Amino acid sequence: MKRTIRTAVLAAGPVLVAPILNAQDIDSVFVETYHVAPDPAGGVAPLVTYRIFVDLAPDRRLQMVYGDEEHQLYLKTTTDFFNDKEHGDKFGDKVPADSLDLLPLAIDSWLTIGAGSDHDLAIPLALDPDGSRLHCPPYSGAGVKSVNLGLVPPMPLNRSDGLVRVDSVPPVMGFRMDPGYLGHIRGSVVHTMNGAWGVMGGEKGISAENIVLIAQLSTTGTLSYAFNLQLGLPDGSAVKYVWRDPGDGELYHPDLLHGKVP
């Protein structure tokens, strides 16, 4: 039986809960609270690392996450995205696995299709089969008790890191988009109306649940998003799912919109 993971997103603001659906190709889109730490800038709200996962039906492959004129893509926070400016990267497949224990690389913000580093595939913490290579300190995952507002990761990162070591990961390619605010520039919105990131041929989840990570985002603010997906189907064809107003050849899925976007 396919296992569905229900994860509530809690931040310094409203509670975000992704709806659970029995769609033909997408079981759900959900957000995992990956890590909670004090704000390095000394603010009251904690720095929370979120992971956005797409739970696919069996034998589907995630090919790309995209935005177009009718269905623009947004990843937003009410403050700004946090980045490791020394070792981090804009895309997860380029994050150096052997440096993940160097604070704050494991909580860097980036985009991906499945990869959690250059030698790891990502998996929800509750499904991680091989423990953790991260240590305590710095990655205790204990949270910030005075201000965590109920934010509790499934388990500390030094017990489960949500990573499975592999020989190689699929290279993630950006198409007509550069997520600059996930690099060295502080910013609060990743947006495109004519761009995407993806993997040639598509990617499946590493476990039988077929759950694929598309972004890791750290912020002291409230996270919201709107994006669209292209999936590869078992017969070799492809299908597009959009967050509003589907056109010809497109399907609608409400989990692709969360929170307030323009």
Complete DSSP assignment for 94-126: GS-GGGTTSTTGGG--EE-SSEEETTEEE--GG
- 2 lies in a domain? no
Rounded distance between C-alpha atoms, residue 64 and residue 61, angstroms: 9
Average pLDDT for the chain = 88
- 251 lies in a domain? yes
pTM: 0.90
- 1 lies in a domain? no
Q: What is the pLDDT of residue 136?
A: 77
Residue 90's nearest CA partner among 238, 5, 195 is 195
Please give the biggest Cα pair distance in the chain: 52
For 6-30, the pLDDT digits (tens) are 444 444 333 333 333 335 899 999 9
Domain housing 86 = 8-258
| 227 has a pLDDT exceeding 50 | yes
| 96 has a pLDDT exceeding 50 | yes
**How many structural domains are present in the chain?**
1
Percent of the chain clearing pLDDT 70 (strictly above): 87
Owner of token pair 């659970």: 20
Owner of token pair 């893509």: 73
What's the average model confidence in pLDDT over 205-217?
Answer: 98
Q: What is the pLDDT of residue 101?
A: 93
Q: What is the pLDDT of residue 262?
A: 83
- 39 lies in a domain? yes
pLDDT band at 146; cut points 50, 70, 90: very low
Owner of token pair 């919105």: 189
Residues 6+ positions from 17 with CB-CB distance below 8 Å: 6, 8, 9
- 3 lies in a domain? no
CB atoms within 10 A of CB 237: 8
- 127 lies in a domain? yes
